Amino acid sequence: MCCATGVGGDWDRLAALREEHPQTILASYGLHPWWMDGAPADWKKQLEARLDEHCAGIGEIGLDKGRRCAVPLAQQAAVFSWQLDLARERHLPASIHCVHAWDELFRILRGREGQRLLVHGFGASGQIARELARRGVHLSLGGKLLGMSQDRAQAILSEIPMDLLHFESDFSGPPSAPAPTLEPCGVPLVVECAARLLKKDEASFGTETAAVSEAFFSTTIPS
């Protein structure tokens, strides 16, 4: 299981959690757009120190033009690009958070072909899913899928090749979705929903997509 974080305080908690469960937890550290304003002045140094200790990836990092984020987009883009460069330098996968900023994301991703990138909590459209997949960007689906119309969910799922498809527990969608989708134990609910929509056998579909995630974060999986 890979746990992504967004800010310094979380980094400490995640490091402790990984120490407790070294065979289960893969840690991913990054500065999320929501927390950029409150980040310590030396956050870059702190992040690099985390990566030196242990890490399976960089993230969550990204862009957010939603109401929850007041950080100017230019500032977000600079912080995001710096972290993407760091991921490339260290051959690490990056988990991307993107809200209403797809044009900017595609602009920043230009020239980054070959980097291992994953857009998490995807819930935009089939067309954007297709554009991301065309660039080799992985997509991760969470509880949002359960609150979508069947048509929309199917439009998204049908655009994501199996070797780019992941599932996750992070979720900030409609309150009608089952509460467990916020916890790792809720991931099977999302997998079950996707398998049903794609008319696949749930057990083998779950095994196949878990293998995709394992390969994505493969360089640092504990032996």
Which of these segments, 15-23, 36-44, 89-97, 140-148, binds Zn ion (CB under 5 A)? 89-97
Residue with structure tokens 């794609």?
198
Least distance CB 56 / Zn ion (angstroms) = 17
Q: Rule CB under 5 A: say whether 166 interacts with Zn ion.
A: no
Which of these segments, 10-18, 74-82, 97-105, 194-202, binds Zn ion (CB under 5 A)? 97-105
Q: Rule CB under 5 A: say whether 97 interacts with Zn ion.
A: yes
Based on its alpha-carbon atoms, the radius of gyration of the chain, rounded to whole angstroms, reads 17
Using the minimum distance from each CB to Zn ion, give the nearer residue, 97 or 116.
97
Cα dihedral 190, 196, 200, 203 in deg (nearest 10): 50
Using the minimum distance from each CB to Zn ion, give the nearer residue, 45 or 100.
100
Three-class SS state of 47: helix
Least distance CB 32 / Zn ion (angstroms) = 7
Least distance CB 85 / Zn ion (angstroms) = 20
Cα dihedral 184, 188, 193, 197 in deg (nearest 10): 120
State the amino acid at position 125 in one-letter form: S
Helices 8-20, 43-53: axis angle to 10 degrees equals 10
Considering only CA atoms, which of 63, 124, 127, 134 is closest in space to residue 94?
A: 63
Tell me the per-residue interface mask from 49 to 68 with Zn ion, x by CB under 5 A, - otherwise. Answer: -----------x--------
Which residues lie near Zn ion (CB under 5 A)?
Answer: 60, 97
